[in-house]
Amino acid sequence: MVRLKLMPPLTWLVGEQEIAVDMARAPLKAVLEQAAAQNGKFRTSMLDAEGNLASEYSCLINDKQYNASDLAGIEVKDGDEIAIILPLSGGA
């Protein structure tokens, strides 16, 4: 089981804080596709037309941060925790 955690404000877009994906070992893209199959709001809010994580998001896999463009070829396994965040910037 891989846990996909969503951080605010993404929880408001998707309607869930966590999506559990029943996969023992898989490419991250397959995990995202399974999460999208389980939750249509996840697909429309967070994935691009090719099924990849949209470029405005970042991903933490077991506390190591990746940009959406860095995720090709990443494989996750049972027990991994994936957190998807929307980086914020700004301020004065």
Look up tokens 């846990």; give the residue: 3
Domain positions in the chain are 2-85
- In this prediction, residue 22 carries a pLDDT of 92
pTM: 0.83
Mean pLDDT of 42-64: 88
Banded pLDDT at 35 (limits 50, 70, 90): very high
- The enclosing H or E element of 25 equals strand 25-27
Give the architecture (CATH level 2) of 2-85.
Roll (3.10)
User: Would the pLDDT of 78 be above 60?
Assistant: yes
Specify whether the CB–CB gap between 21 and 4 falls below 8 A. yes
